[in-house]
Structures are given as C-alpha cells and as structure tokens.
Structure 1
Amino acid sequence: MFKVIMPKAGMTMEEGTIIKWLKNEGERVQEGEDILTIETNKITMEEPAPGDGILLKILYKEGDIVPVSTVIAYIGEEGELSDVSDRKTEAPAEVRQPEKFEQKIEAPRPNKIMASPAAKQLAKESGIELSLMRQAANGDVVKKKDIAEYIKSASAETQADKKGNVCENRVKIEGMRRTIYSRMSKSHAEVAASLVTIQADVTKMLSLRRDINFDTGRHVTVNDFVLKAAANTLKAYPAFNASIDGEYILMHEHINICVAVGIEGLLIVPVIKNADRLNLFDISGKVKSLVEKVKGNSLLPDDLDGGTFTVSNLGMYGINHFTPIVNLPQVAILGVCAVQRYFSEAGKSTDGMNLCLTYDHRVLNGVESAMFLCHLKEQLEKPLGLVL
C-alpha cells in the first residue's frame, strides 16, 4: 500500500492547500499519474501517484490546509485498508481551513417586553418584533409612539443606505496572495529598512544594447544588463549576498538572484542560480525561460528556492523612484527605475536611470550601501565589461 504525502516543495514550505482532487475514491490510478492539485506558499502544482493501485481513501478534502509530510490519502488494492481506520493512525496534523467572517448576533434576553395594546397592534401591522424595542422602552411599557418613532427612524436609515452605501465584494486573502500578505507584513514589522538611491548614466549601455540586438538578432533587455551588473557587485560586496537566520547572518557562497515577475495581481520571484557565473546572454536566456514558466504556471519548486538577493524593475511603467520591500530572510533588494533623458545647455542628451537599494540596517549600514550602489553604477556606465 502506498501513502500519498503532502510534499515539502521547497525549504520554506510548511503547509499546502488541497485545491482539487483529480481522482475520486475507488478509482484506479497509475504511478506518476496526477491525482490532485496542491497550492504551496509559492506555486500551484500537481502531485503524482506514488504507485499503481486504487485510491482507497482520501483523508483531507478540497480546501484543507495540511502540514507538509502528512499522509493525505492511501493507494493500494482492495482489502489493504482494513488496518487503517482513519487519519488518527498517523501522526496528528492540525488541519486549517480558510477563515470565515462571522457576524456575532446577541441572543435576545428572555425577559418579557411590556407593551400597550395600541403598540402591540401597530407592531403587528408593521411586522416589527417587540424585542427590537427593548432599548427604546428602557424598562418601561412600550407605547404606540415608540413604535411609530422606530418605524420613522428605520425608514430614514433605509433611504440613507440607498443614497450613500456602495455594495462591496469581500475577497478572502488566500493562496499565494496570503503568502505575500504574510511575508510583506513580517518584513515591514521586522526589518530596519533604509533606502539609498543613485542615478547611473546608461547612455552607453543603451547604445551597446541596440548594437547587440541588431547584430545578433537577440533581445537583450535593460534588466539583463542590471542583473549581470548586480551579480558582479554582489561578488565584490558579499555582505549583501546574505540572509538572516535567527541571531546569525548567513553569508552565501552562491549568488542566486531573484527576479520579481508580476502576473495577475501577484508577484512571483523565480531565481537565477549562480548568476555570477553566467554571461550576459545566459542571464537573458534564463530570465526569458523563467518568465515563460511563470506565465504558463509551470514553475518547479527549485525555480523559486535559494534566492540570496532580489531585483525588482518597475521601469517599464515609467516609475522614477520607489521603495522596494526587503524579501526576507534576505538583507537587501534593488529597485530599477525608468530611463529618463536629460539635455544639457548645449543640447547634448544623456540617459539616466535611478537605482533604489533598500537594505536591512540591522546588518548593513549606509556607507557600505552607498559603496554597493557606486560599484553598480560604475558597472552600468562601463557596459563593455558586462559583455566580455
């Protein structure tokens, strides 16, 4: 008999949500055949059957949030499940379900409401429960005028609702949005975030980029140049290629740059592994491949794990300055802004691009952050070194 386990798809994954069972209890499945869809804290993925057999028992329903390494189903042959009565035979797992918003309604008090005959008659004709008049009565007998005033007040509130109130749609924060919500809240609460900004003259870089794309037929982007320059700078300033682990700082040997990719209201950060060992064209190819995976929802857990530094580019939206949020447990993040054209009094034009570095002041300081940006600026202003 085979156990279907909630997989640990990545070092940071602690739980997964069962989105959909693709097979029903009693159906025969083959090894490697997808049997359910799981949403992790980063991606949505299909989980294959670990062996051939019948899906004997499903232990957790769709929507359940289950800790990793928990048995969620059994596959085997008829009769093999006799010694497994329920999920309690395995290590107990705390199953969470999406929270629901509930409105608490105070139960009516048991004491009787006293009302005059005329008040009772008007309340009956108007469909008003006398229990609603408890506050108006204030311990006294409810009179006809109390009922009339209540009707008038309720009518005024209804008219105000019709004029001023806007119907709102409540959307539950869940899935990857829930992960982003939690991580950004944690970053904002814990990180001593500081921002430094510098402008690089990218005139030569843009000219070189145009020549490369024209001569080779490739499509190297501005961001590709920035990623290569960032990889070189991280090698020169390894303190920025680090992460926080409790009371320790982990200095990473490998330079793995996360590239922020926005899609359908979400921000996904796939990782370019060993970016410092790749040339400009390798980086360009890696980025394109990862972006296609994001769009096709085909990212693997390994594509999202191991990041040591993040680059977020909003330049394509014309943004000239922003404060990126540190992607914990990393210690810094680079924001890339739009290219702006400037003209001198003599009419000569230059292209400038702002670079915004948010760093965790608990482990880094302003001087070394300024030096990091100066090195990055120099790399971009001498772009031939990024190609050779």
Structure 2
Amino acid sequence: MNHWKKISLSTVLVLFVLLMSIKYIFNISISIPSSNIEFSHGDTVSKVNSEYNGKKPKNIIVFIADGMGFGHLSLALQTQQSKKAPSVWQEFDTKGWHDARSIYGPLTDSEASATAIATGTSTNFGHIGIDKDQNPLENIFEIASSHHYNTGIVTDSYIWDGTPAAFAAHIRNEDDARSILEQMAESELDLLFGELEDVGEGDVPEKDETIEILQKRFQLLERSMELPKGAKSTTPVAIIFEEDEIQDLNSSPNLLQLTKTALTYMSSQDNPFILLVESEEMDAASHNNDSKRVLNGLKSIQEALSLVLNFSKQNGETLVVFTSDHETGGLAAVSDFDNYPKMQIKWSTKDHTAAVVPLFAIGPGAEYFVNVHRNWEIGICLKKLITNDVLDE
C-alpha cells in the first residue's frame, strides 16, 4: 500500500488521459505468420559494417515514409515477416530514432520536418525550404548539384507536396503549387516522378499549364516509363500521373516501379547522385485510420525499400538513409485476446503525434547517423557527407 501512495495525482491524470485517448478500435484481425522472424539480441543501435568505416558514399538515397512511426514498424514486423523472408528492416547497419518536432514545439508537419531533413535547420509549420523568419535555406540537393551530383525525386504523392517540395523549393504557402512547380523547373533537378492533385483548383494550375512549366526543365516520359536513349539519355526527365493513380503494389504505376526506373536512370549517368524516395501511404492512411490501407502501404514500402537496399549492396558505394518526417495516427499493434495469437490495430488519433520516429542507415557513411536524435541533424550529416566535411573531423 505504501508504494501506491507515492504515485502523484498528476501521474494518475496522465495515465487516465492516455487510456482515454484510445478512441478508435478497428476490429480487424491480423494473422501472424506461423514462422515468426527471429530477433537478434544486442544494443539498440547495431554495429556499423566495418567495411565502410571512414568511406565517403558516392551516392545517397534518402527514403522517407511520411507518417510512419514505430507502431507502423511493429505492425510490419509482426504481420509481414517470416524466416523464409528475412525482414528488410533488419538489414540496416544502424537502427535508431529521431525527434521530428518543429521549432514551434513537440508537433510538426511534413513541410517543417522535411525542410529540417533537407536543410539541417529546424523551422515552423508550413515552411518549405525557409527558416522561421522565412529566409531561404540551402538544401542538400542544391549543395549536391554544386558538387556535380545528379539529383532526383520519386514520390507516390503529388509532386508539389510538402516533402518533395522541401528538397526543391523555398516558399511559405504550401498550397501555391504553381510557384513550387516553377521553382522545380528552375532548379537543377534531374528527375521528378509523381502525381498531380487538385488540378485547376486554387493555386494549382491546369494540367496543360503544369506540363508547360515542367517542360522548361524536363523531358516528360510516357506511361511506359521508357527512358530516353542516345544523345538524350542525360536529359532531365519527369513522369506525372493522375491523382491517386499511384497506390500500392496492386496499382500500376506503383512506388516499386517508379523507384526501379529512377535507379536505372540515376545509375546510368556519369555523376554521383542523391535520390529522394517518398511514400505518402502511411500518412494518408493513418489520417483516416484506414488499417487495410496501412497494411497494403507497408508492403509497398518494404518492396521499394528492398529494391533500394539490394542496389546499395550491389553498388557498394551507396548510402541509404530511411526515416519518417513524423508519426500519424498513434497506431498500436495489439494482441486480439479473443482470437489469440491474431492481432488488432488500434488508433489514438487521426492527427500527427509527437512520437519519435525510426532512423535507419546502411552503407558508407551510415556511422554518422548513430547519434542523431533530432530531424535537423539528419540534414547536417547529409550536408557533411556531400561536401566531405565529415572525413576531415
């Protein structure tokens, strides 16, 4: 009894609020594979492959799963892995986390967090490529271009969305699609794959105007995604699809196909490259507490990520950094005691949360992400790897 008397009223209130926050329970039973994956014991952060120690990566791939937290990751590990298919998440050299907060406080949005990752500077809600005072920030793509890298963006969302925009634009109004598109066309981007959305609404130009803007910089490819050959093989390329065309592995196109085409193009160029691959599925699904879409989206992310990791291993000179810009939905994978050992998905909100999110890395340079604990530190590490500063420390 004396032990319980020591619990403060504030602690009881916090526990009560946490329990009351579980508002949405989806009665979706999820089967756990009969041969569950075996987890290795050891430190939270694994030892970095000594083969890469001190080496500067030639290429960098940044994979951002928008809205994905450790609850989503736990769901993937518990429901989609087996001994016959080792977990893609287990393959990383370093496994950690980062706090995605904005400069305003514990919460953030895609614009602020992606800007922190792209520039190494924390900023406020809705700020794309600018600091809290709306001054433009140099992003890693701009730095990479000045160091003779090719740069590219692949997203299953619309191409002017907050996350891809943070790597190519500087603007306060995230809804001003026309200005973001114009900045992309005026940038040194070599590749831009994604969707259109809300065409003709507000500051979103009609499709014909969008094509006209993009053609100032890019050769627009057909749906077949066939890359230009011969003298045009180094021409900057773009592919744009209609709204919501890019879904999961059941759709064509899908993120896996786009990523494969992008890697083919980037690796065929004479220069090193830095490529952003973004999946919006976890964020979109979690805002609607759509459990089925989460499961399908996780499969899509894992397949695209597996492709990226295989490319990194075969290439031997490519760093892969996987992370999220924030967590959405407060997802928890819990046991279904009425149908044990099946599981259920529970949600605590339809909004962003202040939860920390995964940060994994593999390949040359992975060791520099071991002690990263804030989103802007990712940008600092990437800048140093591009400019070679880390090797001078």
> Where on the TM-score scale, by shorter chain, does this alignment land: which range?
under 0.3
Structure 2 length as normaliser, TM-score?
Answer: 0.27
- Richer in strand (by share): 1
Q: Which has the higher contact order (CA 8 A, sep 6+)?
A: 2
